[in-house]
Amino acid sequence: MAKKLMKGCEAIGEAAIRAGCKLFFGYPITPQNEIPEYMSHRLPQVGGAFVQAESELAASNMIYGAAACGERVFTSSSSPGISLMQEAMSYIAASELPVVVVNIMRSGPGLGGILPTQSDYAQATKGGGHGDYRVLSLAPWSVQEAADLVADAFDLADFYRTPVYVLGDGLIGQMMEPVEFPEDRKPLRPLPPKTWATTGWRGDRPRAVVNSLFLDPIKCEQQNAKLQARYAQMRAEEVRSAYYGDEGDLDVLVVAYGTVARVTLTAMEDMKATGLKVGMLRPITVWPFPRDALAEAAERAKAILVAELSCGQMLEDVWLSTASMRPVHFLGHQGGVLLAPEEVSAAIRDVAAGRSAEVRYAG
């Protein structure tokens, strides 16, 4: 197929359809309305079903049902709507169901605004709802990568029987870039048949019961252990990150993801003439966090600069991963204000010149 010029939201929708997803349930919220609009246009063409739910609460429970009967399904929303979905996310994680959830993040807390932020990082990486669970969270930095990661997200969800988030800021959802879809994509892993799905009990398998109620504490603890074993496997096998910049010793290592990593890359190109040795580690999975790749890069660096569109959420994972081995500095905006390449390059120069104050964990 010839390259198309697509908004991130449109590319996400098309990628889902090409991944075999025939069901979408969602509720309008800016800045991701182009996803449900795209799905309402495309799903009838492929024999699928689109439902505009009465709320995000309902939409998230509709995907719970669709996943329970073994169908590929996804929903999308933006920050306040994702908060409303957390009840179902906890149930879906506990019941071991595969779903894909796209969060096109906007500013908060509260109703906030409609412009891009990365301030749902903690929600996406620490569980989000009640109980001990994690969701695999993928953070694209371009429209093409958003499409590619949506395809991967369906495979990962099916393989691990877990919710998988695609975490994009508003810029990823709204900006247009050229994108193409591979015609011969193979699944990331061999995917076993969904023998656990509630497709009607004909006696040829055990009765399928999708459930997260375990009143017996021992059984509930065993279910937790089962989930944790799966998370351990994800930590061992699914961590993704990319490194850019100098391969030797570094004056400054920047840690950034999503569009902030794009801004940082522009900043690094702009400041090549300064002679500063700069590198950037870009987490692609924000959970599981690429702690080993970060620790390895941090070994080579004099200092670390965390850049993100929040008040410092990924910052905590950087502290935990580097265990205070290097001083950590922070650059952020909130509320929908973006980072400019000049701001990032100025911050890099300040860190390298000792003009920036180290930030320490404040609890």
Partner 1 sequence: MFEDRVTVLVGHFGSGKTEVAVNGAIRLAEGGARVALADLDLVKPYFRSRAGRELLAAAGVDLVAPEGDDAGDLPIVLPRVRTLCADPEVRVVIDAGGDDTGARALGSLSDLLGRLGVGFDLVLNFRRPFTPDVDSAVAMAREIEAAARLRVTGVVSNTHLMGQTTPAIVLEGCALARETAGRLGVPLAAAVVEERMRDAVDEAALGCPVFPVRRLVQPPFDQEGYRVPRSGPLFRVL
Partner 2 sequence: MPASGCDAKAVFGLPEALDARVTHYCPGCTHGVIHRLVAEVLDELGLRKSAVGMAPVGCAVLAYDYFACDMVQCSHGRAPAVATGIKRGRPDLTVFTYQGDGDLASIGMAEIIHAANRGEKITVVFVNNAIYGMTAGQMAPTTLPRQVTTTTPDGRDPDLCGHPIRVAELVSALRTPAFVARGAVHVPGEIVRTKDLLRRAFRHQSEKTCFSLIEILSTCPTNWGLPPDEALRWVQQNMVPYYPLGVFKEPGGIDRAPKPL
Binding site for partner 1 (CB under 8 A): 2-7, 10, 14, 30-31, 34, 114-116, 170-171, 174-178, 259, 262-263, 265-266, 333, 336-343
Rounded least distance, CB 239 to partner 1, Å:
25
What CA–CA distance (Å, rounded) separates 351 from 3?
41
Considering the complex, state which of residue 2 and residue 215 has its C-beta at the smaller distance from partner 2: 215
Listed in sequence order, the residues at least 6 apart from 156 whose beta carbon sits closer than 8 Å to its beta carbon are 136, 162, 164, 188, 238
Rounded least distance, CB 134 to partner 2, Å:
19
Considering the complex, state which of residue 71 and residue 145 has its C-beta at the smaller distance from partner 1: 145
What CA–CA distance (Å, rounded) separates 317 from 359?
13
Q: Give the x-and-dash track for 5-34 against partner 2 (CB under 8 A).
A: -----------------xx-x---------
Q: Which of 19, 66, 227, 331 touches partner 2 by CB under 8 A?
A: 66
Task: State yes or no: residue 58 binds partner 2 (CB under 8 A).
Answer: yes
What CA–CA distance (Å, rounded) separates 100 from 89?
10
The one-letter amino acid code at 337 reads V
| Distances 278 to 268, 269, 294, 332, 339 between C-alpha atoms, Å | 7, 10, 14, 18, 18
What backbone torsions phi and psi does residue 169 show, to the nearest 5 degrees? -80, 170
Considering the complex, state which of residue 201 and residue 361 has its C-beta at the smaller distance from partner 2: 201
Query: Phi/psi class of residue 173: alpha, beta or left (left: φ > 0; alpha: ψ in -120 to 50)?
Result: alpha
Q: Which of 37, 87, 343, 350 touches partner 2 by CB under 8 A?
A: 87
Task: Please check whether residue 153 is in contact with residue 344, taking contact to mean a CB–CB distance below 8 angstroms.
Answer: no
Which pairing describes strands 278-283 and 176-179: parallel, antiparallel, or unpaired? Answer: unpaired
Task: State yes or no: residue 212 binds partner 2 (CB under 8 A).
Answer: yes
Task: State yes or no: residue 62 binds partner 2 (CB under 8 A).
Answer: yes
Task: State yes or no: residue 89 binds partner 2 (CB under 8 A).
Answer: no
Which H or E run includes 194?
none
Task: State yes or no: residue 207 binds partner 2 (CB under 8 A).
Answer: yes
Rounded least distance, CB 70 to partner 2, Å:
8
What CA–CA distance (Å, rounded) separates 238 from 255?
19
Question: Count of CB atoms within 10 A of residue 236's CB?
Answer: 9
Which pairing describes strands 99-105 and 163-169: parallel, antiparallel, or unpaired? Answer: parallel
Task: State yes or no: residue 228 binds partner 2 (CB under 8 A).
Answer: no
Q: How many residues bind partner 2 (CB under 8 A)?
A: 40
Q: Which of 179, 210, 318, 351 touches partner 2 by CB under 8 A?
A: 210
Considering the complex, state which of residue 25 and residue 154 has its C-beta at the smaller distance from partner 2: 25
Rounded least distance, CB 27 to partner 2, Å:
11
Task: State yes or no: residue 202 binds partner 2 (CB under 8 A).
Answer: yes
Task: State yes or no: residue 83 binds partner 2 (CB under 8 A).
Answer: no
Length of the chain: 363
Interacting residue ranges for partner 2, rule: CB under 8 A: 22-23, 25, 49, 51, 53-55, 57-59, 61-71, 73, 87-88, 91, 95, 198-203, 207-213
